[in-house]
Structure 1
Amino acid sequence: MTATTAPARTGADRPQRVRRGGIASRTARAFYWMVLPAFALFFLLHTLPVLQGVYYSFTDSPGYGPYEFVGLANYVALFSDDRVLHAYLFTFQFAIVSTILVNVIALAVAMALNSRIKFRTTLRAVYFVPYVLAILVVGYVFQYLFAISIPAIAQSLGNERFSTSILGDENLAWIAIVVLAVWQAAAFNIVLYLAGLQTVPHELYEAASLDGAGSWRKFTSITFPMIWSFFIINMVLALKGFLQVFDHVIAMTGGGPGTATESVGVLIYKGGFQGGEFGYQLANAVVFMVVIIVFALVQFRVLQRGEGNVA
């Protein structure tokens, strides 16, 4: 028996492999060069200012002129400042109430739009309009509504309770800001919930109907568990956004009456840029940044644990 000899290997395919490797290498370098400008801009316009802000938070800088290094004095003073504590209390109160309301309303509207109703596509576009409008412009419209229109209507109806603007009431002014914030933010949440509802197979609803399940049973056993991941995203993004509330307050009350509706963002702006407390309010901003990060991580972890129970 004669052994068959394998054909001699030539180097014809080696240049091809080299060429392919060279193309892949050049493509990888091209990706890096494409990302580098964006990374540089992000570092210069975001990361570097943040690092500078952290540095100035350890100083008594008024925002201009000479300053001295004061260490942790600014951070220590924050925890004994009644105005700062009140701003945090108002911000969290506003954020929690607004987050709950916007998710309940957005989910209800999304379920209505997802059903078989007429002009469904047109209504989706109409509901998204508030999200693309400037908050300051809409805020001044709502300010006129609460300051002029509603009191005038209440007076004509003989209602003394709302015959004066609630924007001047320390106990009710925050409600007007919540109304504006929820109205404006619901659009984005509606879009996310609509995307989630479209992932639910209709066969599940048909099978549930055959078993005699009602609308509430379908929602709790099928709809809500299937869109739980979208619910997590909406809750985290809504809470993060509402904790950073600024434009709504500036347009509606300016933080008043007094400091009743002064959020942390408004306090940082007023104190840092108008009150000569640049270094002090930067310390407040650093603390607030850490609070938002921790709060978002805890919320995300809790909701993720709840996903297993719901499923």
Structure 2
Amino acid sequence: MIKKKPSVYFFMVAPALLLFFSFHTLPVLQGIFYSFTNYRGYGNWDFVGFRNYINVFSDSRIYNAYFFTFKFAIVSTILVNTISLIIALGLNAKIKFHKTLRGIYFMPNILSILIVGFIFNFIFAVFIPNIAENLGITALTTSILGSRDHAWIAIVIVAVWQAAAFNTILYLAGLSTIQQDLYEAASLDGANSWMKFWKVTFPLIAPFFTINMVLAMKNFLMVFDHVVALTGGGPGRSTQSISLLIYEDGFSGGQFALQSANAVIYFIIIVTISIIQIRVLQKREVQM
């Protein structure tokens, strides 16, 4: 009987699997474990059961962070998909230099979020106020980043500007699958540009719309770098996201166990939202 040699695929996958488990799965399991303790990130600890999960809902800072994060995520998701789809439709048209423009539009996606955030921090804090002062535009002489009511708008602008690149590429991939014969047939039936989009284009790129909506919402709910680079969570805690709250209070605020419980809850919330989005949008795909 000939013995089977170990598959070469196992040795190819094993290192990546080991690294993934060590730097992703294991820390996740440790976080879940510590969420049932009173561990502060150092020293001794004891099991406290579900006390941390109960205390999460008694902290007003967490409610504020959730409110900002969901407000930011919903507005940004709507804007980035609307802008990306408009850009994709324009780039898909037979215009000059459309391939070059595709490359230019994708450039923001390859830039570091922190670097982009610091650049826009200078633009919002120094560049725009100086120009506004020289032009006599009083409303813009004060940095938007210093306003508790409007600082989140600056974060939305930067996040949408950078995220639109990836979403545009996905929409372009969807538009490339549509045959031109369908548009010609629609023209013969007397359809105008809006009807072609609503009756032909959008139904056929609906799966790509679903992917973009789910990915955009998930990524924006986990916003961290943009907030750190632009406002640091301020003024006050008006722009502190859930991810930033977990990081700051968990690692330097002595609330490691409490924020671990917060992270577990937030993970469940993100997964639930993603599943609901997929089911609702996929059902809409069938109806279209």
Deviation track 1:156-208 (CA, whole Å, cap 9, x = no partner) reads: 23222221011111110000000000001000001100000000000011111
Q: Which residue of 2 aligns with 1:102?
A: 80
In the alignment, the residues of structure 1 paired with residue 154 and residue 205 of structure 2 have an alpha-carbon distance, to the nearest angstrom, of 31
Instruction: Select 1:285's aligned residue among 231, 244, 263.
Output: 263
1:164 aligned to 2:142? yes
Deviation track 1:76-102 (CA, whole Å, cap 9, x = no partner) reads: 011111100110111011001000000
Q: Which residue of 2 aligns with 1:260?
A: 238
Q: Give secondary structure in 2 for the equivalent of 1:257.
A: coil
1:76-155 aligned at under 5 Å gives the runs 76-155=54-133
Instruction: Select 1:274's aligned residue among 252, 261, 264.
Output: 252
In the alignment, the residues of structure 2 paired with residue 181 and residue 51 of structure 1 have an alpha-carbon distance, to the nearest angstrom, of 30
Deviation track 1:27-52 (CA, whole Å, cap 9, x = no partner) reads: x8232332222222221221111111
- AA at the equivalent of 1:51: L
Q: Gaps (5+ residues) in structure 2?
A: none
Identity %: 57
- AA at the equivalent of 1:193: Y
Q: Give secondary structure in 2 for the equivalent of 1:161.
A: helix
* 1:229 CA drift (Å): 0.3
In the alignment, the residues of structure 2 paired with residue 154 and residue 207 of structure 1 have an alpha-carbon distance, to the nearest angstrom, of 52
Q: Which residue of 2 aligns with 1:230?
A: 208
1:62 aligned to 2:40? yes
TM-score by length of 2: 0.97
* 1:228 CA drift (Å): 0.3
Q: Which residue of 2 aligns with 1:75?
A: 53
In the alignment, the residues of structure 2 paired with residue 37 and residue 135 of structure 1 have an alpha-carbon distance, to the nearest angstrom, of 29
Q: Which residue of 2 aligns with 1:197?
A: 175
TM-score by length of 1: 0.90
In the alignment, the residues of structure 2 paired with residue 36 and residue 192 of structure 1 have an alpha-carbon distance, to the nearest angstrom, of 31
- AA at the equivalent of 1:173: A
- AA at the equivalent of 2:68: F
Q: Give secondary structure in 1 for the equivalent of 2:37.
A: coil
* 1:212 CA drift (Å): 1.6
Deviation track 1:9-32 (CA, whole Å, cap 9, x = no partner) reads: xxxxxxxxx99xx8xx65x82323
Deviation track 1:102-152 (CA, whole Å, cap 9, x = no partner) reads: 000001001100100111111111001000000111101101111111112
* 1:154 CA drift (Å): 2.0
In the alignment, the residues of structure 2 paired with residue 199 and residue 288 of structure 1 have an alpha-carbon distance, to the nearest angstrom, of 36
1:179-198 aligned at under 5 Å gives the runs 179-198=157-176
- AA at the equivalent of 1:71: G
Q: Which residue of 2 aligns with 1:212?
A: 190
Instruction: Select 1:300's aligned residue among 275, 278, 281.
Output: 278
CA radius of gyration, larger in: 1
Instruction: Select 1:36's aligned residue among 5, 14, 19.
Output: 14
Root-mean-square deviation (CA, aligned residues, Å) is 1.4
